[in-house]
Amino acid sequence: MKSNNYELEKWSLSKIWELKEGKKLYKPEWQRELKLESGYEDRFVNSALDGDLNQSWILADLKTCDGFKDEIKNGKEYSYEDCQHRLAALESIMKTNYFKDDDETKESFLSVEVPVYIVKNRSKQELAKKFSRVNGGKTVSNDHTLYIEPTNLNSKIKNELIINSNIVKSIYGIKKQGNFSEKVFYGNVIKMIKVCSSYEGLSNNQSTKYSELLKFLHTNKDVKSFNEMFNLLKNEWFGIIKDLDRKKDMWQQSSWFFILHINKVKNLKYDMNKLNNIYDTFIKTKHINNKTNTEINITRCSPEKRYELILNVFGYEK
């Protein structure tokens, strides 16, 4: 079955493995790392031999999609969008001599045909938005989609805070260093920058909703305006964060950056004792939502609300 936007074919597991082993398949950056549950390989083999692998393996045909020039140049032909666990199981089975000397069963397994849904004529952004929710317990699709937006501000964030920096490695540890950790870090940083920008006249609102973040990324082309903010992130902020016991907590990361940013914007003296007192007051204060008369959970509230609460602790009203 064919159309301009997709093809539905039947492929043998042998063909899929040949593509994987030949490094023709590309793992999209919006897909998280995963670990197979114990026994997954057994269930996969049994389902294959029983003819129960009926769910489509969704791949994207890179040569028809926009934004994959580098991947195609490196020999990639398809990206796997929704079949990550099955592909990981297939790889584990083939690399661990699962069938031992039972060549007949192995041949039967590899000859099994599965439905393959091939997506065509999509942009990288469209694929990220549609498929970044799969294979994950957490919804991180918005941050992943924003991360690959080709903007000057994104390039600055990646080059100065992620690629050419040890910040992510230091915060998340060597074992967690990698693509997914970078997206988590990026998601928090872009929201921190967006909120602070509204107090510097670089954004017309504080909102960290996806639509507003996307607009913010594409509106700010002159990234020199963010130099002071980036210096604050790379120096004072990271100097504090790297030594915290709970440095991976996003609310704590943003709280400390907001404290440093407010202190700088207000031209106050950099006094670490005072800043520590402000942080202690912020986390110990019972912040009340005036509309509902309920306590605000500072670990779960929006970044813009957290900034506002810290402003109040400084003794300034918005």
- Residue 308 pLDDT exceeds 70: yes
- Residue 246 pLDDT exceeds 90: no
Mean pLDDT of all residues belonging to the chain: 87
pLDDT value at position 211?
82
**For residues 53 and 75, which has the higher predicted lDDT (pLDDT)?**
75
pLDDT value at position 163?
87
Q: What is the pLDDT of residues 174-194, one digit of tens each?
A: 554 456 778 889 999 999 999
Share of the chain above pLDDT 90, in %: 56
Distance, CA of 190 to chain centre:
12
pLDDT value at position 3?
54
Spatial distance between the Cα atoms of 148 and 146, rounded to a whole number of angstroms: 6
pLDDT value at position 148?
81
Residues whose CB falls within 8 Å of the CB of residue 10, separated by 6 or more in sequence, listed in order:
113, 114, 115, 116
Q: What is the pLDDT of residues 152-162, one digit of tens each?
A: 999 999 999 99
pLDDT value at position 141?
54
Mean pLDDT of 97-102: 89
pLDDT value at position 136?
45
- Residue 1 pLDDT exceeds 60: no
- Residue 70 pLDDT exceeds 50: yes
- Residue 12 pLDDT exceeds 60: yes
pLDDT value at position 174?
52
CA angle 182, 187, 193 (to 5 degrees): 115
pLDDT value at position 125?
85
Q: What is the pLDDT of residues 252-289, one digit of tens each?
A: 999 999 999 999 999 999 999 999 999 999 999 999 88
- pLDDT grade for 318, boundaries at 50, 70 and 90: very low
- pLDDT grade for 317, boundaries at 50, 70 and 90: very low
SS (H, E, C) 167-210: HHHHHHCCCCCCHHHHHHHHHHHHHHHHHHHHCCCCCCCCCCCH
Range in 129-133, 163-167, 177-181 the model is least confident about: 177-181
| Burial call 85-115: b when 16+ CB within 10 Å, e when fewer | bbbbbbbebbeeebbeeeeeebeebbebebe
